[in-house]
Amino acid sequence: MRFLNIMTPADPAVNTTPPDPAHIAAMNASIQEAVEAGAMIATGGLGKRATSAARLISKGGKITVEDPPTSLGGGDGWMAGAGYALTEAASKDEAIAQARTTLAMMGADGMLEMIQVSEMVPAARQPGMPPMNGVIPYLAVEGADAAGKLYAEAFGAKEHRRMAAQDGKRLMHLHLSINGGSLMLSDTFPEFGHPHQPSNCFTMTLVVADGQMWWDRAVKAGLDIVSPYKKEMWGDNYGQLKDRFGVMWAINSPVA
Does the bond joining 68 to the residue before it have cis omega, within 30 degrees of 0? yes
Give the pLDDT of residue 120. 57
Give the pLDDT of residue 244. 93
pLDDT at 233 over 70: yes
Name the more confident of 6 and 14: 6
Q: How confident is the model at residue 74 (pLDDT cuts 50, 70, 90)?
A: very low
Q: How confident is the model over 118-150, as pLDDT tens digits?
A: 765 544 445 566 666 677 898 989 999 999 999
| Percentage of the chain lying above the pLDDT 70 cut | 77
Task: Determine which of 25-29, 45-49, 72-76, 156-160 has the lowest per-residue pLDDT on average.
Answer: 72-76
pLDDT at 204 over 80: yes
Average pLDDT on 223-246 reads 93
Give the pLDDT of residue 82. 64
Indicate the helix (H) or strand (E) that contains 84.
strand 83-88
Closest by Cα among 30, 27, 28, 31 to 42 = 31
Indicate the helix (H) or strand (E) that contains 39.
none
Q: Is 64 within 8 Å of 80 (Cβ atoms)?
A: no
Which residue ranges form the domains of the chain, and what is each CATH number? 2-54+64-117 (3.30.70.1060), 132-253 (3.10.180.10)
Average predicted confidence (pLDDT) for the chain: 80
Three-state secondary-structure class, residue 58: strand
Q: How confident is the model over 236-251, as pLDDT tens digits?
A: 999 999 999 999 999 9
Q: How confident is the model over 79-117, as pLDDT tens digits?
A: 455 678 888 887 888 888 888 877 777 666 777 888 888
**Other CB atoms within 10 A of residue 81 CB:** 18
Which of the 8 DSSP states describes residue 129?
P
Give the pLDDT of residue 54. 76
pLDDT at 49 over 70: no
How far apart, in whole angstroms, are the C-alpha atoms of residue 147 and residue 153? 10
Radius of gyration of the chain (CA): 25
